[in-house]
Structure 1
Amino acid sequence: MSPFLVLAILSLCAFGTSIISAVVGMAGGIVLLSLMTFFLPLQVIIPVHGLVQLISNSTRTWFLRQHVVKPVFFWFCAGLPFGALTSTYIIKTIKDPTPGYAMIALLIFYTLFKPKKLPHLSIPFPAFILLGALVGLLGPLIGATGPFLAPFFLRDDFSKENIISTKSSVQTMGHLIKVPVFLSVGFPYIEHSAMIITMTIAAVLGTKAGVELLGKMHEKTFRLIFKTALFGAALRLLYKIYSSMA
């Protein structure tokens, strides 16, 4: 397949998955990550995917900026550097992301199917500093951290716009902090600049289209779609675990 055709396909993928993320709040990043595996080696996928998602999430945050829950954003950002610093030391040694995938899948299933007597994952805002540290650690290792974050944003005191905008804002910072991590291990971003630029332009256009759809969606419909996307993400993680063990 010609490089131009690969670039065109990946740009269309970035456009479509950005629409998904803007409407649902997640799943788009994972779908894009999966599609990129058909065309690129793993050592290229996670750094490039992270940069494209950085632009996609930051654009989504800007379009919905008035809905961002700022205390969550600031507490999350305070924890990010600690996890990212740790990841720079272990990214060269850890080759198997299976334990991380299993942890995220369990977290999702707990959120979706827990008995009513068990507590919600509605953590106090200062606790997001710990979530930020975990995302800083996991992001460079497993790529897409959306399924890990999502259960903590599915809370009764957040509207659908609060969920999408605040989750996008913290994911923007999570993807941003991956850039120096990959630069520190020598990833050549310049060599892949054409792909990064075209995919990010497509992601911005997809995000704008998705945000317009979000404004027309009913709150109950959004929460149903969000939970369905979470369930699908968990099943995919279980499949990845099964495939790695087979």
Structure 2
Amino acid sequence: MIDVLTSLPEGLTAVAFGGLIAVSFVSSFITVSFGIGGGTLLIAMMATLVPPLVLIPVHGVIQLGSNTGRAVLLARHVHWAALPGFVVGAVIGSLLGGMMAVEIPPQFVQIGIGCFVIYSVLSRPPKWLAAWPWLSGGVSSFLTMFFGATGLFVANFIKSMDLPRHRHVATHATLMTVQHALKVIVFGFLGFAFGGWVPFIGAMILSGLVGTVSGRLLLNRMTDHGFKRALNVVLLLISARLIWGGLMG
């Protein structure tokens, strides 16, 4: 830990590092327990403590590590049928996002995603979400190049398949692993230098893995009905926060 503190990137204090390590644990605990929420919480906190130019790429690597750990831990529950179409869309969306020379105003993305998810929770997720995984992969992967945390959109796609709680969390983690891996590759080709952030990223991933293992204990104690109710509450709260942040932005 001392070695990590002495090699912190410029612009990141030891106090900020300690706070983000705690947030990484909590965010992973929330995500594996309720299926969603951790990535949004993490990027919201990182946005106040990490230099803006590195926020999206570094958050992407941390989320890649966290989601990989979740996917491996719950691998036997993954709904693999959702993967091929999503991957095709994700590749296309990531490449298009990486080639865009303009940045989409984040407040528009926040309001749009928030309204769509609230509509889907209060009614029923549109049937095309389950039928068109490539569209969910493409749209969410395109937006994540600018916005960072689009797990909410992917969670709604998985929710439309009405999976049991373990399969929901495992499938979400697997799809997000693919999405964040593609994002990191694209940022690497665009010339982002991850090297100076490696110790920080490693510590954040390790903390997140501890949170994942802890959160699985709560997931095991839930019922599918309780999980779906909790998921809807978390989706509504995050969506409301996104819309509010977008309007204030």
TM-score w.r.t. length of structure 2: 0.90
The code of the aligned residue for 1:195 comes to F
Identify if the C-alpha distance between structure 1 residues 215 and 190 changes in structure 2 by more than 3 Å, giving closer, same or farther: same
Partner of residue 42, structure 1? 52
Partner of residue 197, structure 1? 202
Whether the aligned pair in 2 keeps the contact of 1:61 and 1:169 (CA below 8 Å) is yes
Identify if the C-alpha distance between structure 1 residues 123 and 66 changes in structure 2 by more than 3 Å, giving closer, same or farther: farther
Identify if the C-alpha distance between structure 1 residues 19 and 27 changes in structure 2 by more than 3 Å, giving closer, same or farther: same
Partner of residue 106, structure 2? 97
Partner of residue 6, structure 2? none
Deviation at 1:18, TM superposition (A): 0.5
Whether the aligned pair in 2 keeps the contact of 1:121 and 1:151 (CA below 8 Å) is no
The answer to whether residue 35 in structure 2 is matched with residue 25 in structure 1 is: yes
Whether the aligned pair in 1 keeps the contact of 2:107 and 2:247 (CA below 8 Å) is no
Deviation at 1:122, TM superposition (A): 4.0
The 3-state SS of whatever aligns with 2:36 is: coil
Deviation at 1:125, TM superposition (A): 5.3
Unmatched runs of 5 consecutive residues or more in structure 1: none
Identify if the C-alpha distance between structure 1 residues 235 and 200 changes in structure 2 by more than 3 Å, giving closer, same or farther: same
The 3-state SS of whatever aligns with 1:228 is: helix
How many Å separate the matches in 2 of 1:82 and 1:34? 27
TM-score w.r.t. length of structure 1: 0.91
Deviation at 1:99, TM superposition (A): 2.5
The answer to whether residue 248 in structure 2 is matched with residue 239 in structure 1 is: no
Identify if the C-alpha distance between structure 1 residues 157 and 238 changes in structure 2 by more than 3 Å, giving closer, same or farther: closer
How many Å separate the matches in 2 of 1:142 and 1:55? 19
How many Å separate the matches in 2 of 1:242 and 1:95? 15
The answer to whether residue 81 in structure 2 is matched with residue 71 in structure 1 is: yes
Unmatched runs of 5 consecutive residues or more in structure 2: 1-10
The 3-state SS of whatever aligns with 1:26 is: coil
Partner of residue 94, structure 2? 84
CA RMSD of aligned residues (A): 1.8
Whether the aligned pair in 2 keeps the contact of 1:60 and 1:168 (CA below 8 Å) is yes
Whether the aligned pair in 2 keeps the contact of 1:27 and 1:230 (CA below 8 Å) is yes
Matches within 5 A, 1:1-246: 3-90=13-100, 92-114=101-123, 120-123=125-128, 127-155=132-160, 157-244=162-249
How many Å separate the matches in 1 of 2:231 and 2:170? 14
Identify if the C-alpha distance between structure 1 residues 104 and 2 changes in structure 2 by more than 3 Å, giving closer, same or farther: closer
How many Å separate the matches in 2 of 1:157 and 1:28? 21
Deviation at 1:168, TM superposition (A): 0.9
Deviation at 1:220, TM superposition (A): 1.6
How many Å separate the matches in 2 of 1:195 and 1:54? 14
Deviation at 1:39, TM superposition (A): 0.9
- Determine what percentage of the aligned residue pairs are the same residue: 26
The 3-state SS of whatever aligns with 2:222 is: coil
Deviation at 1:143, TM superposition (A): 0.3
How many matched pairs? 239
